[in-house]
Each structure stands twice: as structure tokens, then as C-alpha cells.
Structure 1
């Protein structure tokens, strides 16, 4: 299976230069549109200092997020990390003022950019309100980028009215026919102009589906003849692996994200870490978030796996072990949620 490569898109990079013109940039698009890749590649190209963190799941609490954010800030300023962790998530106006003061006093280079990925998973109004305040009071050479599938948990009306916020939509991230052509060449895939137009029309420029379509065409599956995305995922991703790895993937699918150690405990697969590394090398739909230290299964594949997992008894056992994992780490609310799903409460 061909590992997906990243196409340098000058058009997208030109659009993303707006990041440095606003305190806040929101990149909003559905899953699989390449939000994270586009922003990461652009900032790397610019050599911009980056503080990168993300929300890991809907169960992510404000305090866990704050700890990770402080740790990332600590890579630039250890004193700021200690002060932010000591402060904790601001609960009122004085504490919010203190947090902003700490960040304003940080030692950082101009155009340092704080990126918050998967912001649609944020459920704490304290966090969303906090970032609105941050945007209004951050220095001119510090920028915040939020990557999200939607903005329902963000009230940006006031920020937009004041010219403090820029929104980058999925239309900018869609692959054009010329970019599809360049991507095919990058991947070593031969496609005629007619096929490229068909790919563009069928996928709407959605890169995750473009990649799947290309893999399918290599296996003789014509564009548009796959029925559903799930059918395509099954044919070109899932069926490419033996029964052991298929079973491993199905077991992993009960988790939104996971460490290698957690995968061993929940799936009872001793070779979990080795298998995860293999999947990560071979499969663009298994990623490792180095900042958070966790693996993530791309939602296109994750949705397929969860629909494929029909064994209710095994699923309950997996949820039970996942609950035990969190319970052992005193993450009681998360543990309770999984134990409920396992039918153990």
C-alpha cells in the first residue's frame, strides 16, 4: 500500500499567509480535508516558532487540555509553564488576566503561532471564553490558529466585527484539478485528463477520498463504481491486511485516541506497538500525534471500523478494559463513561 505523500500547494500557502495578519485564524472544514497538514506544512515552510496542542476527545477536560498547553509553552519558556500549571484553568476574570499576563511576558520570537487542533471537541465554555479573551489582548506578534470541523462552540461575531478573526473555509482547502494532477504525479500514479476530471468531480476536492480513489483505481476499481466510501475503505484499506491486523484495528476502534501502552492493555495484543508502527508507516489513516504522545485513527477509517464491529460481547469487554485503564489513572469521569458502555455500572 502506498504511503500518502504531501503535495506542496503554493495556492494554499499564499492563502495561509493571512495567519500573520490576524490575532486569530480559524481553519474550518470537515474531516479529511487536510486542515492539519496544510497548516503544519505552511508554518514549517515559514520557519515560524509553533506551539501545537489539540483536544483529544469529547471527554477531554479543561484541566487536561490546560496541562498539555502549558507543557507545550514550556518548550519555549519553562518559567511560563510552571506559572500556568500553578494557576490552573482560569475560573474568573482575575485569573484570566493573570494567564494573559503570563503569556504576554513569555520569551518568544515574533510571529510565534499557537495552533489548537480538533477544537470542535472542546466542550468547556471556560476554554472557549478564555480564547476569545486571549485574542483580544494578545500582542501583535503572537497568533492563534484554531483547526476545527465547525464553529458551533465558538462565538466569533464580536471578534470578526473588530477585525480580529479570519476564517479559512473548506473551499480553500479543496484540491483543484491541477493539484490533483500534481498529486497523482507525486504519488507515481498515471492518470489522464479525463480521469483527473472524474476524480475532481466525484471527490469534490476532498483529499482523503482522492487518496482512496487512487488506491482503488490501482486495483481496477473505476471512479464512482465503488458504491460508498465504506465500500472503498474496505476494498483498498481493510482488506489489504490479514485477519490478525483486521481484528486489531476493530479492537482499537473503541478508542478515539490511544498510547501504545493503552493499546496493549485494551486489545490484549502483545505486539501492539510493533503493529502500530507498521500501520503508521504503511497507512496514511493511522497517525501519531507527537505532541500528545498518542495514536489516532483517521475518522474515515474509524467510522468504517466502528460500523464493522458487530460483536457486542467483545465490544463490551473492550469498553470494560478501557474503563479499567482510566480508573487506574484516577480519571474517574472518563472511566465511568466507558464502564457504563460496558454494562458494568
Structure 2
């Protein structure tokens, strides 16, 4: 330690041109700083923050060892939470943006939740892979939220959109040329450290270093020792000779060990290396500016990439020593209750048993949702015999893999595991393990209630009335689909049998899974009652579902119940209650921390908007039918196609609608989704009509198939688009549904008229404030959005209301009951 204490400590140069650039950018919402590794980007921003005296900064360094976007987002939110817990909570619930609508929702959160000025610094921005996150940064610069500024530090040049923003005065780009040391700066740097250089010496050093900050810094360290420019080594050797060789052997070993870690706390450094003095070495390096960063918010340290690369090139650790370091790091994270970080460390260590131990914990199925790539790659690296020797861990993995990733492959592996476990006479808890397999298999036959019930009863008997050790009570029972009927109606004429089966056997699954899906049988009953026109019975069933789901904290069932309540209010024609339900659904989406539940809520909102003829309120990803955005299990994806088809009807694009109908019909018949088939045939009839043909025969055939069940909700909700066809049918063919369709068609004209303008929620808020006499600047202050954003919204409001001034907009709003 003595050798490091005596090492020369350079005084860092405050680079005036960089500081001026950063200070001049204080009024800009975004600064994009880019340059090569070792260009001094991070140090420059750190010095600026110390000098500027501006708003508090939240500093997040993108982790290079994280394999999953979701996991990285979680790290970001955790960092933000140390300074802004409420904002972090809201962003955690929103989840990583996967679509344009997600980006818009996060912008709303940022503008509404930020009540104080904040500077957000994102270091190593080049590691961000999510395109929507990159777009979010550009939108922040474009919309200029009042309380937020961004500094992005990257090794890569910015994308074109940032250059466009720079031209518009909303972004400052600082590139490699600004980061490079000039000959004058080199001369000042050497002089302030007691080594005046002149003329030829400065020119030679400048030519050698090429302006690279790291090389200039390291050259000074070596010059301080030799006082000779001709003794300066190449860059990599600089680091080793100027820093590492000056350490004692024990300190060198600690440094080499820490180079295997990404970030670490002082306690973690001592624990992982097994050296109590590791904390002191780290602190001493920080005091000596020895290529180490300290992250204030997370209280973690990080070796500079240059130092890590150089140290690792020395090959001072054996493979066995590296594995042991990673194993110890995994133990550390496991004790801190950070399972994903622990699994990642154990994966690097090749410690399969430790990974399997974590996956044996109840709720481990959730980990694959949070970091799919990490979990899948970790299991791929584990030999098959070892996976099989840990049944609980392996079955937890297969359960998630079946539901989320690849059902066909998961079933193959599950069948192999079942054969092995059945043949093993000495398998501990054999009966329970086979029960867990039966429960997992039920997901593969989820819309065949008879087969599902058989497996649920098998699990119940195997657990002897107890609960599964694998299933998580908060799993998304609805697969991200707000309609239970869509999921389970698999045969024309069999709907009543499905209800009876669920009433009789549905409780088996709810019991063995610890309450998952509680109340789903009442949702199905409510959907069926609405299809029969039994409104009070439907309301009663919805209320029962809500009570049961609340008791068991089943958010997916509560979302489904709210969806059915919205549909019921549509039938009853209560616009006020529909608005109230919409608000509750939006809150449900915001308050869920499971992506598939948020998407289920969006699907419900999109469906109701389409039924009401309000195309502009349908989320963009649903209009596009973007199944890539949809992160829920594939079982629920067909409902997206239904909402997308309804959006196509409103867009009056019959050719696209017809092709879409054919694809939906093929998908629905292959997977036995009767509700999907009904909508596909309705879409086909409507597309034929829109092209000047006769869709009535298609409708007649569909009505014949639907008659045994008596369930007509899809026709009633699409009555504005099918009523003309119904009226051309013989009375006996149209009789079961004609009057209901006429009634709903009248309601539709009212719904569509109320929101013919198609205003978004934000536009309605701004219109309300305009009607109250707010000026544009006051609206921006009230809603915490920038003035340019307010102007854009007002322009859109005028266009949609087909007016050109404020007074006319207020009159039109009053006429349409928009306020």
C-alpha cells in the first residue's frame, strides 16, 4: 500500500473549452457527448457538475454485462429511485417502452411526476439497444419538459434525429474533436503539475498522443518518474507501468481481481476478493485519480475500461481463480437478495448448482419474464443430467419457457423429464413432481377445458390438497387477454358446457396455484349473460368476480372485470359510466408491474374505442396489429387481431380487412378459438359489403352456427357495420339479434357523435383548460409540459374540431358535450 501512497497524483486539468460548451448548453434539454474510449467524456461531465451548481443530477451508467432490456431498465429505475422514489415507482410500473404508445406514456409520467428540476446523466449510452428508449431521448429534446435535462455520454456518434434537433436549437452535440487535447492544453496540463514544456517538446508529445486524453494523462505519469519524453511507452504499457507496477504485490492482486467485476461496493470488493484491505486500495486509487469511477447514487465503484483491459491482458489469474471470483460475487448478490445478478455471476463461474438452487425458490418462474436471455442461456449451459437432478428448478424453467417462449419445444423437454422421473424409483417427492408436471401440461391445452380439468385434478391429488411449489399466484391467468370467453370458447354449441365445467372444476387450479385466476368463472358468466341480453345477471357476476379477485389480489381478473363493465355500460348507453370505467382501466394499466397486464388493459381500451367508432383513441400498436410489441404469452395474441380488424373497419380499407379476416380465420380454426372465428367471419362479410358485394350470406351462415349458444355480443357490438346485411335476411334468420342491433346502432350514433373529433385524453385536458380561460403558457404550467407541446396539441384540437380559433373551439366543445 505504501508504494501507491507515494505515487504521483496529477492535478486534473479543467478544460475551459469543454466547460464553456457544457455551460452554454444549460438551457438546452439535451447534450449528446461522444468520443472514443479514454477521451475524458465522463471526467469532463463530472467536473462540469461540480462547477455548475445546477440542479441535482441522477447518474446512470448502462451496465455492459446485462443481457436483457428489462433487467437494464430495472437497474435504471433502481438508480432513479435513490433520488426520485415516486418517479421511479411510476416508471417501474410503466415498464421499458416497447412501442410509440409506451414512449408517449413515459413522457406523460416524466412531465406529470417531475416537480423539481433534475439533470439525468446516462453514461455509456452506446450500450442502449432499445430503439424506443433512444427515441424517448430525442422526444425529450423535442418537447422540452420544464424540469428535465439530459446528458448522454456515448462512444458512438449520434443518430440523424439528434443532428436535426441540434439545428432546431434543442440539442448540443459535443464530439471527438472537442474532447481531443490541443497542444496548448497539453502544455498547460504539464505546467500545472510542475513540468513546464516548451516548443519542440510540446509538438512531439502532441503528435505522439494524438489528442487522446488517456494517453496525455498516462504520459504525464511516466514523465513524472523519468523526466524523459523518449521513455514514454505505448498506451497499454502506460497504464501498467504508471499505475500497476507502482503497487505492492498484494495490491496488484486485488486490482486484478476487481477487474473481473463490473461495479462493486467497498464491502463487496472485500468479500469477493477475500482481502479486507481491498476497500482501502479502491479508495486510495480514487484519491489518486487512478482510472476508477465512483457512482454517488448507487455508492458503487467501477474500474475504467482501459484499466480493466490492460490488467486482463497480463493474464495474472488462472481460469480457476476467475471462476472462484465470480462464484463469490454470486454469493454476495444472493445474500443481497438480487437473484438475477447472482445467476449472471454464477453463469460466469460455471456454477450450475448455485443457479439451480436459485431457480428452486418459489416464484422463480417470474425470473424468466424479467431476464429471458439470461435465464435461457444459463439453462442451455447446464448439462441435461444436472437439470434433471434438480426437478423443482428445471420444472420452473420449463413452465416459463412453455408459456412465454416456445410451447412446442418446452413440451418435448417436459415429456423427456416426465419419462425420466417416472422410471426413477428413488426420486424424492416423486408424486409431487409428477403433479407439478401435470399442472404445467395444463397450459399446453389451456382452451380444452376437459383436458385442463383432468390435469388440475391430478395436481390437486398429487399435492394432497396442498399448493404447487412452482406456480406463482400472481402469474397472468388471462395470458394478457381481457376476455376469458375468448380463451375458452372452443366449440360452437358448447358454451353452456364450458360454464358448467368451470363452475365444477375451475376451483382446482385456483386452489393449487395459491389463488391465481380467482374470480375467472364469474367473468365468463358475465360475458355469457351479456351475449344473452341478461344485463342484471351480468352486473351481478362482474361484482362477484371483483370481490373474489380483490381478495386474492388478482390484477388480471380485475382488468377483465373492468373490461366487461365497460362493455355492459356500452349496451346500457351510459356515457358517464363508460368514461369512469375508462379512467379506472387507465389507472389499472399504470399500476400493474406485469407487462402483459398493462397490455391487456390497453387491448380492452382499444376494443371499446373501436366499438364506439373512436379510431383516434385506439393505441397505435393495436391499429397496426403489432404482435411483436405484445410480450404476453401467444395464447392471448388473437385478441390483438380482433381489435386490429375493428380498426381496419373504421379506416374503411376493405381489401386489407378481407385479407386480415382470412388470416384470423385460419389462426382461430387451427387453435379452436370460436370467438376469433366469429369475428373473422364478421370481418369477411363487412369487407365484402365495403367492396360493393353482398355479405349477407356470410352473415346468415354465421348466425346459424351461433344460434345453439345464443351468444351474439360480437354482432351487436358491430351492429353499425352489419345492420344493413341483417335487414336483408329473412326475419326468421335475423330475428334473434335484429332488435338488439338496431338499439345498439342508435347508441353508436350517439357515441360516435360525442367524440367525432377523436380527441386524445391529453387533448381533452387542454381543451377543458382552454374553455376555463387558461392561456397557453398557463396550460403548460398546469400540465407540466413545454409551450411547443401545448401549441402542437391546440393545433391538433382545432383540426379535429374543424375550427380555426379558440372561441369556435369552445362552442364546438359545448355542442358535442366534450366538456
Map 1:234-273 to 2 at 5 A: 234-273=240-279
Shift of 1:68: 1.1
Change (3 A) 1:319 1:124: farther
- Partner residue, 1:161: 164
TM-score by length of 1: 0.86
User: Does the CA-based 8 Å contact 2:294-2:300 persist in structure 1?
Assistant: yes
- Partner residue, 2:115: 107
- Partner residue, 1:63: 74
Deviations, residues 136-157 of structure 1 (Å, cap 9, x unaligned)? 3332664211011114xx6x32
Counterpart secondary structure, 1:201: helix
Match of 2:18 among 12, 16, 19: 12
Counterparts of 2:298 and 2:16, CA distance in 1: 29
The number of aligned residues is 336
RMSD: 2.6
Counterpart secondary structure, 1:150: coil
Map 1:148-187 to 2 at 5 A: 148-151=154-157, 156-162=159-165, 163=168, 164-187=170-193
Unmatched tracts of structure 1, length 5 or more: none
Which of the two has greater strand per residue? Answer: 1
Counterparts of 1:323 and 1:331, CA distance in 2: 9
Match of 2:344 among 328, 334, 337: 337
Q: Single out whichever of 40-49 and 175-184 deviates more from structure 2.
A: 40-49
Pair 1:316-2:323 in alignment: yes
Unmatched tracts of structure 2, length 5 or more: 1-6, 67-71, 353-819
Deviations, residues 43-98 of structure 1 (Å, cap 9, x unaligned)? 443322142322242234111112212433x2xxx644554445444455555434
Map 1:1-345 to 2 at 5 A: 1-20=7-26, 22-60=28-66, 61-72=72-83, 74=84, 79-90=86-97, 93=100, 95-105=102-112, 106-109=114-117, 112-139=118-145, 142-151=148-157, 156-162=159-165, 163=168, 164-220=170-226, 222-223=228-229, 225-310=231-316, 311-345=318-352
Shift of 1:167: 1.9
TM-score by length of 2: 0.38
Counterpart secondary structure, 1:265: helix
Higher RCO by CA contacts (8 Å cutoff, separation 6 or greater): 1
User: Does the CA-based 8 Å contact 1:286-1:298 persist in structure 2?
Assistant: yes
Shift of 1:126: 4.8
Deviations, residues 83-133 of structure 1 (Å, cap 9, x unaligned)? 444544445555543432332232234xx5322122123344453343233
Change (3 A) 1:91 1:132: same
User: Does the CA-based 8 Å contact 1:66-1:89 persist in structure 2?
Assistant: no
User: Does the CA-based 8 Å contact 1:114-1:143 persist in structure 2?
Assistant: yes
Counterparts of 2:52 and 2:328, CA distance in 1: 44
Higher Cα Rg: structure 1 or 2?
Answer: 2
User: Does the CA-based 8 Å contact 2:254-2:275 persist in structure 1?
Assistant: yes
Counterpart secondary structure, 1:69: helix
User: Does the CA-based 8 Å contact 1:53-1:291 persist in structure 2?
Assistant: yes
